[in-house]
Amino acid sequence: MIKIEGVILDWAGTTVDFGCFAPVNVFMDIFKKAGIDVTMEEARAPMGMLKIDHIRAMLSMPRISALWSEKFGREFNEKDVENLYAEFEPSLMSSLIDYTDPIPEVIETVQTLRSQGLKIGSTTGYTQTMMDVVVPNAWKKGYSPDFYITPDETNSLGRPYPYMIYRNIEALNLSASWKVVKVGDTISDIKEAVNAGVWSVGVIIGSSEMGLSIDEFNALSESAQEKVILKTEQTFLQNGADFTIRSMSELPPLIERINRLISEGKWPYVKMM
């Protein structure tokens, strides 16, 4: 039977770093040092992109752009982007090791998928230097995909470009894009998957899009949890996700569902609806 051959997972907010807090805190700090107060929502909006592209996207936001012009008497330029990134990278590197804990259910889910013969790939918005910290520390804690790649290896063309997914498909010997599932926690992840022609899945709890720590989420009432889950789900679906899952334990059953859709001949029509 024709079926899914591989799963490509994002890192921060999907497999490690519940809530994706490592980069968000640093983005807010570097703008504050430049005299611009940005909100948590603004810092999170471009999440999943290559980090220098993320800074450029933040500076392009109308409110931040206006504040920048007001403070400096001119619009931002590429030198400003580079200067902010020069502050960002060392600041992130100094704390990154503390944000490498696997998110609950990830290790068990990956074991289940591997036992079913699936390959496990990954993409990220982090650079290779950042991943040199994340990968070995996540491995020590029990999580390690079969392959990972950074935008450094695709000429800095990160999300939403599809090239990191294509490299995964090649490296893992996956035979077709429609036999691949991409799972991520940001709009950039969803768009990356859509552009690559693979099945796009948004994971909700622990995501950057939800933006809550595990303690903050657990402190919510059941109705409040449901409200934030549904809001995040709608954001993913409105940006092109084929499916959403609340947590990683729902991924194996979802892949079985996709396999049934393929076997029933509903591919590619189901993606075109």
Read off the tokens for 50: 């290559």
191 as an active site residue: the answer is no
10 as an active site residue: the answer is yes
How many other C-beta atoms are found inside a 10 Å radius of the C-beta of residue 153? 13
SS3 125: coil
CA distances from 18 to 4, 15, 147, 215, 266 (A): 27, 8, 21, 10, 35
d(CA 157, CA 150): 9
How many other C-beta atoms are found inside a 10 Å radius of the C-beta of residue 140? 10
d(CA 243, CA 258): 10
CB 16 within 8 A of CB 180: no
Binning the chain into helix, strand and coil, the percentages to the nearest 5 are 55, 10, 35
CB 117 within 8 A of CB 64: no
Which of 17, 33, 51, 132 is an active site residue? 51
CA atoms within 13 A on the CB side of 149: 22
In the annotated binding site, the residues are 10, 12, 185
Report DSSP state, residue 250: G
In the annotated binding site for Mg(2+), the residues are 10, 12, 185
The residues annotated as belonging to the active site are: 10, 51
